[in-house]
Every structure is written in C-alpha cells, then in structure tokens.
Amino acid sequence: MKKEKIRIGCGAGFSGDRIEPALVLAEKGELDYLVLECLAERTIALAQKRKLQDASKGYDPLLEKRIKSLLPLLVKNQIKLITNMGAANPLAAAQKVIEIAKELNLPLKVAAVTGDDATQWVKNSSTHFTILENGQALNDYEVISINAYMGIDGILEALEADAQIIITGRVSDPSLFLAPMIHEFDWQIEDFDLLGKGTVIGHLLECAGHITGGYFAEPIMKPIEGLENLGHPFADIYADGSAIISKVKGTGGKITLQTAKEQLLYEVINPHEYYTPDVIADFTTVKLEEIGKNQIWVTGGTGKAKPETYKASVGYKAFYLGEGEISYAGFNAVGRAKLAGEILSQRLKPNFETFRIDYIGLNSIFREEFSAKMKVEESYLPEVRLRVSGKASTADEASLVGEEVEALYTNGPAAGGGVRKNINEVIGIVSILIDRNLLKANVDILSA
Amino acid sequence: MKLYEIAHSRAGDKGNTLTLSLIPFKESDYELLCTQITAQKVQEHLQGIVEGEIIRYELPNISSLLFVCQQALLGGVTTSLAIDTHGKTLSYALLEMEIAYTNF
C-alpha cells in the first residue's frame, strides 16, 4: 500500500562512527527505516584484502558490535535497516546477522545485495579500461579490487521481498535512502525529478553528524551545544519528495540552515549535475527553510536521466609508507627541528624518490608557502614536531624512514623526544567506468 | 576583515580535487561574497595549496558559493604523503582570506 510519509534515520556516516546515535534513533526516533552508511572508497579495498585472507570475512569490522546492540530495538520497533556494511562480502555479513538473530532468538529476514564486485569480471574481460583520473591503462595497475557504485535496483528487490535487514556492498550513498522512498511511495524509477529530490534528501542525511552540527562546530563563530551526546538526523519524507530533517529530542547538536547548507554542498563537484547511478540530480533548485527548532524543510531539487555507466573504484597496490616523528621544545625548537629535517633529507635522498618533511605546529597542514603567509613568529612556538614520510616499494625499505628518525636520539640535534615510527601498506584508489548493462544486482534472502 | 568573521566553509575531496563551500552567516552578505570572492582571488589566495584550475559555482537558492579546486591534494586522497590526506582542514585556509566589509 502506498504511503504518504516515511521516516528514515541515519545512524552512522562512516565506518568508524559512534555506535549509540543509531541506538537512540532506533529506540526513540519512531523510524520506519534506519540507514548506516559505513563504506568509504578505500574501506572496500581494505575489506577485499581481509576477504582474500579469510573467505568468511571482508565485511565491516564493527558489524557484529553494531548489529548486536541494534537488533532487539529494530525488531521491537519494526524498523528496517539498510546498510552498506557488507563491504566486500555482503553474504558473509548477512550470515553473521542471522547467527546473531538466532543467538538472540529473534525472527528475521536478511537480504544480501551483491553484484558490485567487478574484480574478476574486469580481469577476464577483453575490454580496454582507461583510468578516469589520469587516462592511463588499467592494465598498468596492480589491482586488488574493483567495485562498482550500484544504485537502487538490488535494495528495491530486497524491499519487495520484505527483508528487514538489507546489507549491501558498494552502493552509491544516496541510493541507500532513495530505495525505500521509491518502494514506499511507488515512485517510477524513470521519474527523475522525484529521484533527484530523494537524492538530495539522501545526500543531506548520509554524513549523519555533519548535518546535526557535529563537524560544523567551532566554539567562537559556530558554537554547538552537546557535542559529546551528538544526535544523528532523521527525515520525515513525503510522497511529493519534500522532507523535514530533524533529530531526536534531548540529543546534542543542532540542525540549522547553516548546517544543512554545509552538508548540501559537501563533496559536490558540480551542483548542477550530481551524478549517482539512479539519477543526475540538480542541487541548484533545492530550497531549504528553517521551520522550527532543529527542523529544516527541504523542497525542490530536480533531476535528469541516469548515466549509462557505473563508476567503479579500483583499489591497487600503491606503495609502502614509512613515517617517523620527533618533537622539539623550548629555545629555538623550530631551528633544531629544521636542522633535523635537513639531516634526514640528506640521509634519505639516496634511497627515496619521494619523501616529505613536515613541521607539525608550523606548516604541516596548510603547506609551507601558505603557512608562511600566516606570519607566525617561529621563535615563539613552544614546541614543534618533525614528521618525515616516504614512499617505498617494500616494507623493509619503508622502515628506513622511522629508523633514521629514531637515530636522531644520539646523533642529534639536541633534545629531540617522543619518536614514533610507522609502516603502512598503502592502497590507492582510482576509477573506471563500466557499461551499466554489464553488471546486475543480485539478492540473496536468508531467514532466522 | 577576515572571511571567517562573516562566512563558514567545509572542505570535501574527490581524488585530487578539493571542494570548498562558502556560506555567509547572514544571507544578505551573499552578494558581497559574489563580488569579492572570485575564483581568481581564491586562486591567488590558495597559491601553494591549489595547483590546478578553480571553478566557482554560484548557488543563489541557498545563498552560497562553491569552489571546485583541481590538483589540490598532493596527488590525491589515497596516495598523498600529507598528514591530512583529505584536505579536510583546508576550509580554514579559505577562511583566512581578507574581505573589505562595510556594514551600511
């Protein structure tokens, strides 16, 4: 039966997000749907690596923790969960959820949405793929994973099968929100204006604490109360594609025109054409209005026909990162740190094609030229931390960076302290386009 | 006057591209931002950070500007050696800009 209004909450905006805002939403939010968006570009490549090591893994490492605490509330309040915590292995994630449901003695229907993993398909294909960012050939890369940003199709199929928990792999973030709107309001998937509106609403919600004032806060110009207890948002969405965005009473944070505007423009490359697999949305027709405390009314937003291709993220073996850090304080701290930087530059130069020296507290963030414009008196800095980072082709080579920093303990300059060293295998991400007719969403339904 | 006194901003990233929103606290200041904070001025201001072209989008519907900056993240989020690979901190570099502000 067609509904007039649904309420969707967003309880997580990235894989490392807090657990309890979703619990508050599930307990007190009177939700129809809860979305947990937990999958960044690189997260899925790391998950693919875990899956290669253990075929029963490769889903979000926090899945168990999140689901165990949420499931009783979801079942009690009849809330459907849509999440991309399946990462590289939605099926194993769904099996894990079933296992948890059985332990808790809760009846449950779980859907695993797959079809995004194009790694084998591309490797076996004779098509020549070009990297979008630099025009190079895909064959030049040591590929770990290829995952396409899928749209609403698989989630819609899972909703039609009445699954209560829907676990996807790589799906475009707004699609997680758009699919239940289409399902409940009976929107036509070719009605691109409505899909554009729904995509705007999804985009406003998808970063969770962004729109409730968390990442917005600044104590002087943009003070926000209760950040330690930040509420995550929900939206009352109407069949005409308008919505009111709000949060649970008593939670921290604030939803205002300003927080909504910051989120609307977040990571937008072209506001006239915001590409998703479902629609190309236009954000320049969106209207936002503050209609009450913590209540933003969203109207407008339009769209045009969806792209013919899926964008896919390619995870590849990039390099080994070697890092080392050491601190200096007191008289001429910057001078000693810079001397240490020079020493390290000379010693690392023969072994590293690319390395970088940062002075944390002075110019590690805004980079040297811009930081210099900010006119800080270097001699007044009470302390500065030298950071050296370099790219290497093996972990062994990378370890040299940290070792050289550590060796400053006896070789000087004076009074360097607090050395930390680190080696990390870096996975790079680039993109390719895949004809959308060549990838098909797949849905498996499991029951407890 | 510094930009952070009349406007706020958030940075976003896509590959080696940096996005910077610019939103006045008072919607009545939108025209002032449109006039003074041009793509060219931002390009000059962010010299040393943004190496590529900067495109400015005007969004009168929400009284906000959006700057899309190419080649701004030292090669890109996933392979840069910088501490802040995403450039999340760079919104406050934009807000360091000077603006001539007269409150009539």
Give the nearest chain B residue to A368 (CA atoms): B48
- Identity (one letter) of the amino acid at B37? I
**Closest by Cα among A369, A268, A377 to B44:** A369
Does residue B103 have a pLDDT over 70?
no
Contacts of B53 (CB under 8 A, 6+ apart): B69, B70
CATH of A315-428 given 2.40.10, 3.30.70, 2.40.50, 3.10.450: 3.30.70
Residue A211 CA neighbour count, 13 Å, CB half: 34
- Using only C-alpha atoms, chain A has a radius of gyration, in whole angstroms, of 24
A367 at B interface, C-beta within 8 A: yes
Dump pLDDT digits (tens) for A48-104.
889 989 999 999 999 999 999 999 999 999 999 999 999 999 999 999 999 999 999
Q: How many CB pairs under 8 A join A and B?
A: 123
**Closest by Cα among A417, A399, A401 to A348:** A401
Dump pLDDT digits (tens) for A28-59.
999 999 999 999 887 888 898 899 899 999 99
Say whether A262 sits in a helix, a strand or coil.
Answer: helix
Does the beta-carbon distance from B61 to A287 stay under 8 Å?
Answer: yes
For A182, the enclosing helix (H) or strand (E) is helix A173-185
Domain boundaries, chain A: 5-115+150-307, 315-428
Dump pLDDT digits (tens) for B27-83.
999 999 999 999 999 999 999 999 999 999 999 999 999 999 999 998 878 899 999
Chain B residues whose CB is inside 8 A of the A14 CB are none
Chain A residues whose CB is inside 8 A of the B68 CB are 269-270
Domain boundaries, chain B: 3-94
A424 at B interface, C-beta within 8 A: no
Which tokens go with A442? 């797949």
Contacts of A314 (CB under 8 A, 6+ apart): A131, A138, A141, A143, A145, A146, A429, A430, A431, A432
Instruction: State the ipTM, two decimals.
Output: 0.97
Which tokens go with A218? 């600044």
Which tokens go with A244? 């009111």
Instruction: Tell me the C-alpha distance between A125 and A133, whole Å.
Output: 21
Q: Is residue A245 within 8 Å of A255, Cβ to Cβ?
A: yes
Q: A368 pLDDT band (50/70/90 cuts)?
A: confident
Strands (E), A227-294: 233-238, 243-247, 274-275, 280-292
